[in-house]
Structure 1
């Protein structure tokens, strides 16, 4: 299943809780970016690898992560 995640980087505190729960290891702290609050936000390195599991969104204490999943297409029975 394919997925997509969106981080509200302006609200992210860089707590890193989302990093170890990602089963495909695509989340990292972007130290080249500093948000308005002075934190380095989390981001995704390879969106195409996201499986839409939702682990990152569930663990985020500030609810700044939104996860989308592609809908499964059911095959017609013959």
Structure 2
């Protein structure tokens, strides 16, 4: 089981990470950061994340940390 942490201050809400996640565990959030961007949210209640890191590789702002 993997886990990701999204640094909300770096996230610009581009949604590239959402397309990379095969399990659709990352979705646009309802809160925004200090820069005014709505940030992504990671929700994995069933532990489906494998820690593959594709979401982090897609992130142009290096806002995602992956833990295995």
TM-score, with length taken from structure 2: 0.91
Which structure's residues are more often strand, by fraction? 2
Structure 1 residue runs of 4 or more that deviate by more than 6 Å after TM superposition: none
Give the deviation of 1:45 after TM superposition. Answer: 1.7
Q: Which protein shows a greater Rg?
A: 1
Stretches of structure 2 that go unaligned for 5 or more consecutive residues are none
Find the aligned partners of 1:56 and 1:21 in 2 and give their Cα distance. 5
Question: SS of the counterpart of 1:50?
Answer: coil
What is the root-mean-square deviation in Å for CA atoms of aligned residues? 1.0
Count of residues in Structure 1 that have an aligned counterpart in Structure 2? 67
Give the deviation of 1:51 after TM superposition. Answer: 1.0
Higher relative contact order (CA 8 A, sep 6+): 2
TM-score, with length taken from structure 1: 0.80
Stretches of structure 1 that go unaligned for 5 or more consecutive residues are 70-78
